[in-house]
Amino acid sequence: MNPGVYLALILGFYSVACQDVFVTVNEGTLRGSLTRVEDKDLEVYLGVPYAEPPVGERRFQRPVSPSSWEGPRDATLYGPACLQRDLKPQFNVTMGEDCLYLNVYTSARSKSEATLPVVVFIHGGTFLTGSGSFFNPSMLAVRDVVMVTINYRLNVLGFLSTGDAAAPGNFGMMDQVMALTWIRDNIAKFGGNPGDVTIMGYSAGSASVSLHLLSPLSRGLFRKVIAQSGSSMADWAAASPHDEVSPRDVAFTLASEVNCTGSDSETVVTCLRGVSVEDIVNAGRNIPRPPRRFTWSPVIETLYGFLPDSPRALAERGQAANVPIMIGVNKDEFSRSVAVLPGSNDGVNASVFRNKIFEFASEGYPGYKYTVSMAMAKTYLKYWMDHLAVRASYVNFLTDYYFTAPAILESELLTSRPGRRPLYFYRLAHRPANNPDPQWQGTSHNIGLLLYTFGVPIIGPGGYSWRWTWSWTEADKEFSRVVMNMTVNFVKYGNPTPTEVGGVIWEPFTASERRYLYLDSTSVMKSDLRPDDMKFWNKDIPDIIGEPVASPSSASVDSQIPLIALLFTVFSLTLQ
């Protein structure tokens, strides 16, 4: 189905004119389509190649610039999504290894002026799934912002790393850099200002934009950052060659699954280039997940140099780009993971939570499992007779580890440097009135700020994803308008509320005051988000474990203090 018609069907108030529009970029001329959104003309160019297809010998290589073409190139159809398993058919897109395409939405009345700010949206999906074609940013584009959505290589194809020159890794991140480079060189043709680019991401896409803040390869390609529910400081955001299960270990495990055996990286990677892409992706999804990591993710490496050191080390050395930042989390990011526990609607038994804590510590901190378990229980398991309070603590425990504490750490590290541009922190608490999930799940990861940023309550589920089929209230729609206004203000001025928006002035976060916006139907400014819990993850745990433990059998605090095991056992028995 032609995506111009497709957009008209899923967005009921859209009308599509049967009119071609044209733009000439460095590689040739594109023929796009014209649509009308909220009584405003919008030019849409889909499936625009920003790199050569990463196939054949280009598999497991950094991307290269696209070739030119003759005559107008059709830009009315989405390019294929990057290959992934279990792509839902309702997304109505094809998949393939040839997938390095982007989509541009512009309302520029005179593309020769190149004055509109630009937003580049990087999708999430645990670095395993997703596509720029899953998102419709038209509601922002008609507010005089040029919107760009991109694809990048995913899972094994995007993030396999042998830890050496054969396959350094970070291919998906290098794709993102290539897309930003193409946008810098071509976006003026669409009326966008190449010197005023904001990168925005959600979940793994948010971790991606956070990594771009730190990467020397991304410097100068953007001027502002919006990071929603994901930070480079999270353990899951980047792997290290020194991990207990290293990216090289994972790569060789994958290779053995598809009969590419051997100890030499070049031989193994050459073999992998000859394996069918479907077999590689399917095998890649079956590889066990390393402790505290995704199976496939960005990696610390110096050969390409995208991430030459750990994110925390780079930030502590002041190597982050000095740009305005809007960053935040949902109040109850991980509530759905707690909801899978039997009987969770009635609360969580303290002994169940205690066992989960010990499993968590055993997997993530094997050499310190008793010490860390006791510290975790002391911090989060305080009201063990009240099952509802225990459930709330379990939600906080997981949400803090995966999202909130890393985002707070990033914010503190960045704002502690003198002369930094402002950083605006939010905590999203708004819950759609007709959300069918139990009330206690609150604002989970799947109903994040992106829904409101893209105006989904106003235009319906076609604006973001087909998972949300409930009806939206007028309060939801008004909240979405407030979020869109804040977003566009930040994109244009580097300040989400240069004047009062939604009844509030959003004050910057500083390392000394830690001000943040509690974002709800009635938003308010607050200070110092749960400081003891943030300190636990960002200072106490690093102090306990010191340098990363090489293996479960290596020397550790627990091996030197065996009494901790007995104390933990006694403590556990009191919770039965």
Active site residue ranges? 203, 333, 445
Compute the distance between CA of residue 354 and CA of residue 399 in angstroms, rounded to an integer.
17
381 Ramachandran zone, left/alpha/beta (phi>0; psi -120 to 50): beta
Query: Which tokens hold the place of 271?
Result: 């073999």
Compute the distance between CA of residue 564 and CA of residue 219 in angstroms, rounded to an integer.
47
Query: Is 499 exposed, middle or buried, given 0-12, 13-18 or 19+ CB atoms closer than 10 A?
Result: exposed
End-to-end CA distance of the chain: 59
Torsion of CA 496, 500, 502, 504, to 10 degrees: 90
HEC string of 316-345 equals: HCCCCCCCCEEEEEECCCCHHHHHCCCCHH
Residues 280, 258 contacting (CB under 8 angstroms): yes
Compute the distance between CA of residue 290 and CA of residue 288 in angstroms, rounded to an integer.
6
Going by C-alpha positions, the residue among 500, 497, 534 that lies closest to residue 514 is: 534
Identify the sign of the CA torsion 431, 435, 438, 441. Answer: negative
Query: Which tokens hold the place of 208?
Result: 């991606």
Please provide the size of the chain in residues. Answer: 576
Helix and strand numbers (H, E) in the chain are 21, 15
Going by C-alpha positions, the residue among 253, 254, 260, 250 that lies closest to residue 282 is: 254
What does R_g of the chain's alpha carbons equal in angstroms?
24
